[in-house]
Chain A
Amino acid sequence: MSMGAKKGRRLGSTRLVLLIPYLWLALFFLAPFLIVLKISLSQTAIAQPPYVPALDWVAGWAGLRDFVAALSTDNYALLGSDWLYLVSYLKSLQVAAVSTAILLMIGYPIAYGIARLPRRLQPILVMLVILPFWTSFLIRVYAWINILQRDGLLNDVLMRLRVVDQPVAWLSSDAAIYIGMVYSYLPFMVLPLYATLEKVDETLLEAAADLGCPRWKTFWLVTLPLSLPGLAAGALLCFIPITGEFVIPDLLGGSDSMMIGQTLWMEFFANKDWPVASAIAVALLGLLLVPMLFYERLQQRSLEGGR
């Protein structure tokens, strides 16, 4: 059979395989972003839906012209001028950066340790790292409230050990946010790191040792550079969602300063200001666009590079 004929038939029968998820994602993932963009340029109103202008399809071109004329960038001007929003953005970036750094410092030794333990143990250990990820995110954050609250276990233990003589307010602090972030995102850091560390060729390390290279130097010159793709993937997989995180700062953090996810939530649910909430979402997306594109490239390379 000629290759052309075979290929033609395969394309015919598999076109639907591509088309169905393509249309689904275009309708429920891509189109919504365009709507967010549109609403971020609208004004809030006491109406249903609570924003103007509404696009008048019946009026045709005139309706479209009126619609475009009524759009404004006021919401973005508000984001730039009000300190509340700027502080939120900066706090989110700070929390994401510090959490990712802590995750790297904790996650790397764990991934490295798993990769160096006997091979038959490794699948079990990887499973043990993944397992908490399968239990509810909300439950895992909630578990820490039990521990961190004023009459919680941590204070109990610390006071019994006489480290502190009165309860420390762990909850509602930045420390609690960091604990929650590191705890929840640890599997996302460990797994990509392990995946690259596990593939490091043992003979390279032996060669370095044979040539008299001390162990720390072998790590620095051979292992670490070889694990960079996993390190980048893990860091991005943590940094990007942490920046927009809502549940963890809301349940564990204090009320004095909010992360951007909380600000968006508040504008939408408490203030019912959909246009401003949309503008925050667009601005957050803009902030994360570069790391996201970078992550997509890594993902594509790891899943499709082998071909």
Chain B
Amino acid sequence: MGRKTSAFNVVSVALGLAFLYLPIVILVIYSFNGSRLVTVWGGWSLTWYRALLSDRAMIDAAWASLRIAALSASAATVLGTCAAIALTRMGRFRGRLLFSGMVYAPLVMPEVITGLSVLLLFVALDVDRGFWTISIAHTTLTLCFVTVIVQSRLISFDRSLEEAAMDLGCPPLKTFLTITLPLIAPAIAAGWMLAFSLSLDDLVIASFTTGPGATTLPIRIYSEVRLGVKPEINAVCTIMIAIVALGTVASSLLAKRGAMRRERAALSAQM
């Protein structure tokens, strides 16, 4: 769209971003507050981070969350990529409507419904609830996000590359591994990261599917937050924000480097 930028455009974008970031910035600043009271500034201090180090329950919860997130994101990436390939490459198969319905529905399905229903399945199957049930529920929730990301990459890249390989006698599996997979790899990586952060973040579904001994970080934070603001929680949140920010910066740098390398390769091929 147009290059003609008015002051109105600039102001609305600036205000929008300020609205999105101000609360987070305030939270981060207050995690370094030396005073226990929210409005009283007691000088910069690491008191709450130190308190966190001795909070065994919080550390255990964080560790449980990280393990569940890594496992469910990996499973969701495999399943979601398969689903994306099926939806873009297999044309009209029987049951396609049901399949695509099941893939897209979790994107908007209220979490209380997903959580309740998957818990009732586990009860019906008489499974012990805990680490594995949360992981399965998170895999189901996040695989649709992976599918959407990978699918949009699959439809946007040049199909003639695949066709050329096949025409030259390359078997389908090899074509997929040597041509398709490297092309969609950035989308798969982005899908994994999104699935990971969604799992790390989820409170509602984890609350339904958890069992004794499997407290995740959001469940822990939620039970503390219900009792009011605590400076330790500010510190936990700041650490989580820092991890996400670092991850995002690192992945965008990697993507940029990959793009530059590709460009250079394309240039040298032309010469």
Please give the residue numbers on chain A whose beta carbons come within 8 Å of chain B beta carbons, in ascending order.
Answer: 6, 9-11, 13-14, 16-18, 20-22, 24-33, 35-36, 39, 49, 106-107, 109-110, 112-119, 125, 127-129, 131-132, 134-140, 142-147, 149, 151-153, 156, 183, 186-187, 190, 197-200, 202, 205, 236-237, 240-241, 243-247, 251, 261, 264-265, 268-269, 274, 277-278, 281, 284-285, 288, 292, 295-296, 299-300, 303-304, 306-307
Contacts and interface: CB of A to CB of B under 8 A. Distances in A.
Contacts of B24: 132, 135, 139-140, 143
A35 B117 contact: yes
5 contacts: A21-B80, A118-B3, A131-B244, A288-B110, A303-B151
B167 to A, nearest CB: 8
Identify whether the interface residues of B are mostly helix, strand, loop, or mixed. Answer: helix
Given A25-B103, A139-B240, A142-B233, A129 B20 contact: yes
Identify whether the interface residues of A are mostly helix, strand, loop, or mixed. Answer: helix
Interface of B: 1-6, 8-13, 16-17, 19-21, 23-24, 26-27, 30, 37-39, 79-80, 82-83, 85-90, 93, 95, 99-114, 116-118, 120-121, 123-124, 136-137, 139-140, 143, 147-148, 151-152, 155, 166, 172-173, 193-194, 197, 200-201, 203-204, 207-208, 218, 221-222, 225-226, 229, 233-234, 237, 240-241, 244-245, 248, 252
B20 A18 contact: no
Contacts of B38: 146, 149, 151-153
The listed residue with most B CB atoms (<10 A of its CB), out of A11, A28, A197, A264, is: A28
Given A110-B16, A116-B6, A17 B108 contact: no
Contacts of B109: 240-241, 244, 292
B105 to A, nearest CB: 7
A307 B23 contact: no
Nearest to B226: A251
A236 B108 contact: yes
A117 B12 CA distance: 11
A39 to B, nearest CB: 6
